[in-house]
Amino acid sequence: MVLLSLREVTSWFDVTVFELWMHFLALIISSVLLCLKLHTIVNISYLTVSLPLFIGIASSYYFVFIIFLRSCVDYKDYRGPTIRFGLNVFRLTCTAFFLFFIVEKISGEYEQSEVANRNTYGMVFLPMWLLLAGWAFQMCRTTNVA
């Protein structure tokens, strides 16, 4: 099994170490909330369980926008930062849509014991397929530039 180094992850997927830590912290908090919910210690919805993940994605949007503005102003270059910004927004949007769709699907099936969402799992996982295609494009672009 081949593991990617931190440098490869940050360059190929165009994420910063700060973003990785932020998403890792949101995942830990959501995991704790999920354990509390599943053991019926706290009566919360699945949307509340996934709220730290949505907050992490929203703050990533903010930091990606700040990085885009700074790189445009500091380096007076617009083509490279605009492509990076577009790919980062696409990545975050696909992740947010997938998270929303999966939370909506799970909350309908497990909380109400009925199919509240008529979307199939193919439709739920569609943002992940688009994200993989975007990552493939981004990896090819990164390896050709470097």
pLDDT tens digits, 112-144: 666 666 778 888 899 999 999 988 888 887 777
Q: Kind and range of the H or E element at 115?
A: none
Would you say how long the chain is, in residues? 146
Q: Is the pLDDT of residue 10 over 80?
A: yes
**pTM summary value:** 0.85
Residues 2, 6, 145, 132, CA torsion sign? positive
Mean local confidence (pLDDT), 7-24: 89
pLDDT more than 90, % of the chain: 53
Look at residue 75 in the predicted model and tell me its pLDDT.
Answer: 84
